[in-house]
Structures are given as C-alpha cells and as structure tokens.
Amino acid sequence: MLIAHFLEGSGKQIDPSVMKIMVQYNWPGNIRELDNEVKKMILMAGENEIITEEFVSPKLKSKYDSDMSDPITADQIFENVEFNGSYSLYDFLGEHERRFIIKALSEKNGIKKHAAALLNIPESTLRLKIKQYGIDLKNLDALH
C-alpha cells in the first residue's frame, strides 16, 4: 500500500520481481527509506512505465540475491512426506522449525543472541527451542 501511495501521480508501475525484492528487504530506515527508494526508481526509470529490477538500488538487490542464493523448492520440502497416522502436521512443522533454527545458529557461529535476531524471535524462545529439539551447539556443522 505504501509503495502504491509513493507511486501515485508518477504514471509508473512496479514489476512483480521488484515487488518481491522490496518486500524481502528489512527497511531499517522505515518509511523514509522506502519513500526515497521509490523516488529513485521513478527517476531512474525515466520514460519507462514499468519499474524493473535494473532500477533497483544495488543494496536492495544484493540483500535479495544473498537471501535467495539457495532457494528451496516445494518438491524439496515435501519430497519424503507421506500421509499416515505416525507422521502429523506438527511433526512436519517441528522438523522444519528445527532445521531453520540450526541454519540460523550455523550462520551466526552458534551465538544465540545473533541467531535469535536473525530468526526474529526472543533469545529466550530460541533457548527453549534448542532444548526442545535437543540441538547440540557443539556439532552444528554435523547437523546442518
């Protein structure tokens, strides 16, 4: 909604790929940073009616590229899933939550405070999940 507001009167539209990049970005500068980015893209697009990826600032694109460097496909997520009475939705979600936590801990070298920030959860919740899933912080590389 904010992007549409900032585009008003410009006669420009945002390509869906650009919208994905913008939604993925954390926006530490909040609304002002978003407003400035949209204004830059409008200027960079010139006569083009559609704002494409070529007009996105390098910092947004590099963050998006690094986050999407190893995308997971639906086939990979569901490759070994069989519906039966012994494997529930909670088991499935728990296994993927565990993997997600291990990946964050690995990326942050086992530092719980940093991994919790990456996961956007309180450190106390991360500690609880580590205990719940029996994650061995000394063997993160072997788990990942």
Q: Where are the domains of the chain?
A: 2-67, 74-143
pLDDT of residue 66: 55
Q: Which fold has domain 2-67?
A: Helicase, Ruva Protein; domain 3 (1.10.8)
Q: How far is CA 112 from CA 64, 134, 142, in A?
A: 24, 15, 18
pLDDT of residue 111: 92
- pLDDT tens for 55-99 read 888 888 776 655 554 555 555 555 655 666 666 777 778 888 888
Q: Answer yes or no: is pLDDT of 116 > 80.
A: yes
Q: Are 64 and 21 in contact (CB under 8 A)?
A: yes
Which of these, 63, 131, 73, 70, lies nearest to 103 by C-alpha position?
70
Please give the single-letter amino acid code of residue 19: M
Indicate the pTM of the whole model: 0.45
Fold identical between 2-67 and 74-143? no
Q: Which two tokens stand for residue 16?
A: 């869906």
Q: Which fold has domain 74-143?
A: Arc Repressor Mutant, subunit A (1.10.10)
CA dihedral over 44, 48, 51, 53, signed as positive or negative:
negative
Mean pLDDT of the 16-30 span: 82
Most confident of 78-92, 110-124, 129-143: 110-124
Within 8 A by CB and 6+ apart from 105, the residues are 112, 115, 130, 135, 137, 140
